[in-house]
Structure 1
Amino acid sequence: MRSVSRLSLLVSLLAISVSSRVEAAIFSGEIQSVSAAQKQVVIKSSQGKEKSFLIPADVPVTFNGKPAEFEQFEIGQRATVFTSSKGEITRFSVREAVAKKTGEPASGSKKTMKERKSTVTSGAEPAAQGWTQFRGPDRRNISYETGLSKDWNQNPPKLLWTARGLGEGYSSVSLSGNLLYTMGTKGNEETVIAIDVNTGEIAWTHSNGPMFQNNQGNGPRSTPTIDGDQIYALGANGNLVSLSAKDGNVEWSKNILQEFNARNIVWGISESPLIDGDQLICTPGGQGATMVALKKQDGSLIWKSNVPGNPQAGYASAITINTGGIRQYVNFTHAGVMGIEAASGRPLWGNDKAANKTANCSAPVFFAEKNSIFYASGYGTGGALVQLSAAQNGVNAQLAFFTPEMKNHHGGMVEVDGFLYGASDPGVLICINLSNGQTVWQDRSVGKGALTCADGHLYLRSEKGPVALVEVNPKAYVEKGRFNQPDRSGNMAWPHPVVVDGKLFLRDQDLLLCYDVRSR
């Protein structure tokens, strides 16, 4: 009863906060004409729609996030007009125009030479696949980087920079071009943050609704998704926003819990949005809307999936697979793992063998060789491999094996050449043969943590301390060095490590650390 009353109080406070600041509509685009004397501006949206606005004298006006005068605004800059439910303008925000050439100052810019240089990519370009979303370009948790150090004892990571001022939260990072993206907090709000990958300087921030508060840590849990020139970010209270990747201007926003009649989960929405073609996939866990597909251009509904039992959201993020001739989205909800037809939202199959009733967190892993899904959870549960096959009306899902060995909480897993690697509660790194479910080896020296894979090695980040380099080796545990992150916060180090552009990124609450991990 106590937890229910606390949740009710939180919802009530959130409702009060939202009702006092809600903006019924947002119009964003490029300035076509501007009159400083009349405070009038014509804006053209990315869909080609033009609209004229007269900005009242008492409305807050900002340029690049700071208070501004109309004289600063020029044609070509990005502008956003916020209006209330009565159609009244409540805010007017303008950001610098995007330069047409790398390193070229934008219209109205007064950049110094140092600032201009910081916008130019130094050294090699990032790998073509990059790291544009949670768990990497194809959500396999594998980086396509090569030429990385294979022995940290002889060639240890070099700290390049530390970004500060990110606030609270457990978001990891995504990266494209010269900017990387994460989420944090500022004051009582959650924020989306863009950071210069070469310097660690914050390029822009955007507010994304009230801050989620919880005894396991405040702030957002998910990682922004990059798709072309847009960023999609989902906050812990269900606030979903589409932003310009260059300057943070808003294209559209909505709250998926409110729109799809869903309740927030105990430790906050943690899913990172999935972009597949024109569809944005997320899992609000609402009535008749366990999973939904939205049009990424404007957030409008394409379909919603009515999964039997209306399971609430879990803490995992969806993946895309093709099996049985059907493209589908697979995610781990509060009730179990499920497959949803990509074209229609039709539920195809489900399995609850490796689900617990507390928190299902780790993303499912597709084992393509066996056309199977492996998923696992903590709290004394374990993992299961589900064999998928074509059926007359969809997809058959049959349990291949269950193992109590892989009790993966929220650190994630990775499959390489038919072997699965991941940390199992209470703190054991385990390698499992997915052909038969047998544990090949296990090691306790680093402890429970999150991992990723790059250039034949696992990057294992302990939630309590060290970061270790371990061979992808199905025969034995072979560690190639470790180090302790400086300036550790008092919170568990839960954000997943990311390896891209020859660098290792480690988020720890207010800090983001960038290491050079290339072979030297």
Structure 2
Amino acid sequence: MRRSQLSAVLIASFASLSLLSVAAYAEWPQWRGANRDDISKEQNLLQEWPAGGPPRVWMFENAGVGYSGPAIVGDRLYTMGARGGKELLLVLDANTGKELDAVEIGDVLENNWGDGPRSTPTVDGKFIYALGAQGNLVCIEAATGELKWKKSMQELGGSIPTWGFTESPLVYEDIVVFTPGGEQGAIAALDKKTGEVVWQTKDVTTGAHYSSLVVRQGKNGPELVQLLADQVIGLDPKSGNVLWSSPWPGKVAVIPTSIIKDNMVYVTSGYGAGCKLVEIGDDGEVKDVYENKVMKNHHGGVILLDDHVFGFSDDVGWVCQDLKTGERVWRDRESLKKGAIAYADDRFYCLGEDDGQVVLIEPSIEGWKEHGRFTLDPQTDQRKDAGKIWTHPVINNGKLYLRDQNLIYCYDVSESGDATAGN
């Protein structure tokens, strides 16, 4: 990699950010968006799709293998992919799909379900943080284009889980937080500028699984919430001390990101585990509101909207669930097979993992109400037999971004239809 080229790209990107308001650029700087809830604040989007779906603006064909999603800040798209045996942080022009540069993270993870990185980079002002599937966490300084620091999960006592490290690092104030797992402490916080260890949860030693941390604003201050294979916990971000914990019967792989609603935390995972809602008291006392099998979400994610949870439940279908009672409101087993979900401007964007169908539906409590669909075309020839289309949809700046391994697609979903066309 030519450092001067990367430096110019990142400096230009950072300069563009400084000219934008926080509301304008902080739309999708990390996994599941600014609030890690998969809710885009985009407006003025198409409410009905034409036959064949919205127009494609561009398609990038050299993202390499992997399942990493996009973080989009200003006119830059950051993602990861594996090419030539190396995992890379990729920088693309979000409007045209042109590759601007790439930063090496480490050696590629090889896996029967698909090689390459799984997580989404996190953009925090002038720094970019990315975690490779082998466990290499890097920090790139945008102002200089330099690798600021690098830390491996193995240095912190972690070991590579079955499907690789998939967690997207969380930046909170002056720390970057993630889950190496293991006897030295399941969750760790590093100084985001230096990479030095600030704390590690030595009293919690669960092995790393696949969920990403979120922030909850509790009555007594902020908390870091993580779903582990054996429990859902809340941590003090300053010390890493456990503030509360509730058991979780995780099986095989615990993946979906926790959902936060006031003093409630909702978790779900697949392989028959189910879902659970806990209520956190002002004194840190944890109360189980319910635990059932209505939602058994594998890795397509769930979204909370107006006190209802939407997503795909294994062996059940697409589900709308009442958050507070846990009761199923409706399910649909026929309209679309298993997949991922995203939200923007009064519409859900559902992506079928098997066939690449993309469906626009209403966020209705009355049932599946469809407003258009199309199928990704072309599809990759680099996906392994056991792999599927697992990268979640992202909606930003009037565009819908999708990925199938080496292929990244950009569609114009704005009402005005004036997205800049690329090559």
The verdict on a shared fold, with TM-score over 0.5 as the criterion, is yes
Q: Which amino acid aligns with 1:439?
A: R
Check if 1:266 corresponds to 2:266: no
Question: 1:453 maps to which residue?
Answer: 343
Contact 2:10 2:144 in 1 (8 A): no
Q: 1:427 to 1:511 in 2, by over 3 A?
A: farther
Contact 1:127–1:144, Cα closer than 8 Å, also in 2: no
Determine whether 1:487 maps to 2:378: yes
Which of 441, 449, 472 is the aligned partner of 2:363? 472
Matched, 1:503 2:399: yes
2:399 corresponds to which letter in structure 1?
A: K
Separation in structure 2 between the aligned mates of residue 382 and residue 190 of structure 1, nearest angstrom = 33
Q: CA deviation at 1:221?
A: 0.5
User: Using the alignment, how far apart are the partners of 1:373 and 1:102 within structure 2?
Assistant: 36
**Residue of structure 2 in register with 1:431 after alignment:** 320
One-letter amino acid of the counterpart of residue 271, structure 2: Y
* Distance in 2 separating the partners of 1:251 and 1:240: 11
The alpha carbon displacement at 1:98 in A equals: 6.0
* CA drift at 1:378: 0.7
C-alpha separation in 2, matches of 1:234 and 1:96: 20
State the alpha-carbon separation in 1 of the partners of residues 316 and 22 from structure 2: 37
Q: Which amino acid aligns with 1:132?
A: P
Relative contact order higher in (CA < 8 Å, ≥ 6 apart): 2
Q: Deviation per CA, 1:276-297, whole angstroms, max 9, x where unpaired?
A: 1111011111323211111101
Q: Residues 484 and 137 (structure 1 numbering): CA distance in 2 closer, same or farther, change over 3 Å?
A: same
* CA deviation map 1:314-337 (0-9, x unaligned): 101000011231311111122222
Secondary structure of 1:259's counterpart equals helix
Provide the rounded CA distance (Å) in 1 between the counterparts of 2:374 and 2:361: 12
For residues 170 and 63 of structure 1, the distance between their equivalents in structure 2, rounded to whole angstroms, comes to 26
State the SS of the aligned residue for 2:24: coil
CA distance in 1, matches of 2:13, 2:147: 23
Alignment match of 2:71 (pick from 163, 166, 174): 174
What is aligned with 1:397?
A: 286
Gaps of at least 5 residues in structure 2 are 417-423
CA–CA distance in 2 between the matches of 1:295 and 1:102? 23
User: Is the counterpart of residue 290 in structure 1 residue 181 in structure 2?
Assistant: no
Aligned-partner Cα distance in 2 for 1:428–1:421: 11
CA contact (8 A) 1:126 1:500 kept: no
Contact 1:129 1:144 (C-alpha < 8 Å) held by counterparts: no
Contact 1:127 1:501 in 2 (8 A): no
Counterpart secondary structure, 1:127 = helix
Distance 1:189 1:101, change over 3 A: closer
Query: 1:68-467, aligned counterparts within 5 Å?
Result: 95-97=6-8, 127-153=24-50, 156-245=53-142, 248-256=145-153, 258-308=154-204, 310-353=205-248, 355-368=249-262, 371-391=263-283, 395-426=284-315, 428-444=317-333, 445-465=335-355, 466-467=357-358
Larger Rg: 1
Q: How many residues align?
A: 406
User: Contact 2:11–2:142 at 8 Å: present in 1 too?
Assistant: no
The one-letter code sitting in structure 1 at the alignment partner of 2:78 is Y
Amino acid at match of 2:272: G
Deviation at residue 153 of structure 1 after TM alignment: 3.9
In structure 1, runs of 5+ residues without a counterpart are 1-61, 65-77, 79-93, 105-118
Aligned-pair CA distance for 1:305: 1.3
Equivalent pair of 2:251/2:273 in contact (CA under 8 Å): no
2:360 alignment partner AA: L
Shift in CA distance, 172/427, structure 1 to aligned 2, threshold 3 Å: farther
Q: TM-score, normalised by structure 1?
A: 0.74
Q: How far did residue 306 of structure 1 move?
A: 2.1
Question: Separation in 1 of the partners of 2:124 and 2:229?
Answer: 28
Percent identity between matched residues is: 36
1:320-378 per-position Cα deviation (integer Å, ceiling 9, x unaligned): 0112313111111222221111121001222234x32300000000022xx11110011
Shift of 1:207: 0.9
What TM-score comes out, normalization by structure 2 length?
0.91
Check conservation: 1:126, 1:177, Cα contact below 8 A.
no
